[in-house]
Amino acid sequence: MKRSCSCFSQVRDEMFKTNLVCSFIMFLLLMAVQALIPVPRLYYRTALQFCLLLLGYLLLLMMVLAEEFKHSPSVLQQFCCWIHENNNMRNLLTVIAIAINFGMALFDMIWCHSTETREIITSETEEYQTSQKPLTACMYPEFFLLSGVVSMVTCAVFLRLSSILKLAILLLVVVIYTYFIEVSFHMLYVHNPEQEQSGRSQYLRRKGVSVLLMGMFVIAVFYNGRRWEATTRLDFLWRLQAQQEVQEMRDLREHNECLLHNILPAHVACHFLERNRNDKLYSQSYDEVGVMFASIAGFNEYYEQKEIIHEGVECLRLLNEIIADFDELLEETYFLDIEKIKTTGSCYMAASGLSPDKQSRVVNDWHHLSELVLFALAMQETLKEINKKHSSNNFQLRVGIAHGPVVAGVIGATKPQYDIWGMTVNLASRMDSTGVSGKIQVPEAIRNILADWGFVLELRGEIFIKGISERKGHVRTYFI
C-alpha cells in the first residue's frame, strides 16, 4: 500500500499547468477587484505591490509552461520537466501561488487597518467627526470575506494537492482573516461610540457570521478535496492493477510463445499462433530434405552397468549434458537451417531443409545438406570434448544421413509433437543402425551431392537394409 501511495505521488501531474493558469486568472480577477474597491490607500505603493505580485506569478508561469514553447532554453525546459515529475516541487509552487492570491485579497484589509490606526491616533489629539468620514469598503468588513473566499478557492483549483495540506493552508487563512475581521469590527466600535447596545450586538452578529461562513467554506473545500483525492487514488490503483495484469498477460504470452518455439520449428509455431487459422491439423510435404540420426554407441550398455550400482541418475546427468551441448550447436548462425526433431534414448534426430520459404525460393539447392553433415562432424567433436572431461568414458557417435522427400506435421493437441515421416526417414535410421561407431554413413545418392561440396567419401560397400533391400536389393553406402 505504501509503495502504491509513493507511486501515486510521483506520477506526472498533466493538469498542473492548467491548474496554475486557472489560479493566475483568479489572481487577475482579484487584482481588478482590489483596484476598483474604494479604500483609502497610497496608489503608488499599491501599484508597486501589484507589479511585484504579478512579476512573481509570471515567473511561476514561465517555469511551469516552458516545455510548451520550443524556442525556450533547453535548461529551462529540463527544469520545467523536473518540476512536473517532482511532487515536492509542485507542492511548493502550489503553496506560493496560493500565498500570492491570498496576499492580493488581503491588501485592502491591511490598508484599512493601517489607515484606521492612523485615524485613531489623530483623533486623540484632534476632535474626530464621523460625519466627515467618507464611505469606503472599510466600513463593511463582510466585503473582505468575499475576497478571502475567492483566494481560498485557489486551493480547490489544484486538484492533486494533498487534502491534508489543503486543510492546513485553509486553517491558516481562516486564522489570519479572523484576526483582521476582529480588528475591522473593533475599528467600527471605536468610530461609532454613540451606537446603542442593539447596534453593537449587530456588529457582533456580523462578525460571527463572517467567521462562520469562512469555516463552512473550509469544510466544503476540504470535503470536496478529500473525495476527489480518494477517487483519484482509487482510480490510480485500478489502472495500476490493470497495467500489472496486462503486463502479466504479455509475459505469459511471451513465455508460452518461447515454449512453443522451443517445441516446434519457427514457421510451425507461427502457424499455430495465427488468430484466424481454421485448420487444426498442420502438415507439409517437402521434396528435398536431409535427415540425420546420430546414436551414442554403447550408451545403453553403459547405463545398464551404472543402474546395477545405483548410479542411473548420474548417467542421465551425463546424457543431458551431451544432448544440451548438441542443442547449443543449433544456436550457431551456420546451422540455422537445421531443425532438431526429437531424441529417443541416446539417439539424436535432426533434419535440414524444412523451411517452406527456402524450399520455394531455391530449387535443387542442397546447401542445407552440407550444413547437416558439418553439424554431424561438430557433434562428434563435441562428444570428444565431453569424453575429455569424463576420463572414464570413451563414447563415439554413430551417424546415418539420407536425403529425399518427407512429410512433416504436428501430432497431438495438448502436447504437440513435430515429426517427419517417409522412406527417407527410414533410410536415415537404417544408415545409423547399420553404421560404424565414429563414422558418418550415407547412401550412394548423397555421394554425388556431397562430392560437389568438397567432402571426401570412402566406399564401404553394399549392405543389406531392412525394408529397402527386399525391394531394391543391397544398398551401396559410403563413409564421410
| Mean pLDDT value across residues 104-117 | 65
DSSP letters spanning 129-153: -GGGSPP-GGG-THHHHHHHHHHHH
Share of the chain above pLDDT 90, in %: 6
Structural domains of the chain sorted by starting position, each given as residue range(s) with its CATH number in brackets: 2-246 (no CATH), 280-479 (3.30.70.1230)
Provide the pLDDT confidence category of residue 265 given band limits of 50, 70 and 90.
confident
- What's the mean per-residue pLDDT of the chain? 78
Which segment, 7-16, 44-53, 245-254, is predicted with the most confidence on average?
245-254
Q: What is the DSSP letter of 68?
A: G
pLDDT reading at 248 higher than 80? yes
Residue pLDDT, tens place only, 353-395: 887 665 444 445 678 888 899 999 999 999 988 888 876 778 8
pLDDT reading at 111 higher than 80? no
Give every CB contact of residue 104 below 8 A, 6+ residues apart in sequence.
27, 30, 31, 34, 50, 53, 151
Share of the chain above pLDDT 70, in %: 81
Residue pLDDT, tens place only, 143-188: 777 777 888 888 888 877 878 888 888 888 888 877 777 766 665 5
- pLDDT at residue 132, as a whole number: 45
Q: What is the DSSP letter of 283?
A: E
Instruction: State the catalytic residues.
Output: 430, 466
- pLDDT at residue 374, as a whole number: 92
Between residues 1 and 285, which one has the greater pLDDT? 285
- pLDDT at residue 318, as a whole number: 85
Q: For 162, list phi and psi in degrees, rounded to 5.
A: -60, 140
pLDDT reading at 51 higher than 50? yes
DSSP letters spanning 251-266: HHHHHHHHHHHHHS-H
Between residues 54 and 277, which one has the greater pLDDT? 54
Between residues 12 and 32, which one has the greater pLDDT? 32
Residue pLDDT, tens place only, 456-475: 888 888 888 887 777 777 88
Q: What is the DSSP letter of 391?
A: T
- pLDDT at residue 127, as a whole number: 43
How, if at all, do strands 396-411 and 417-421 pair?
antiparallel
| Mean pLDDT value across residues 51-78 | 85
Which range among 17-21, 30-34, 273-277 shows the weakest confidence by mean pLDDT? 273-277
Give the distance, in angstroms, between the CA of residue 65 and the centroid of all CA atoms in the same chain: 27
The model's pTM is 0.55
- pLDDT at residue 293, as a whole number: 94
Distance CA 461, CA 479 (A): 10
- pLDDT at residue 148, as a whole number: 77
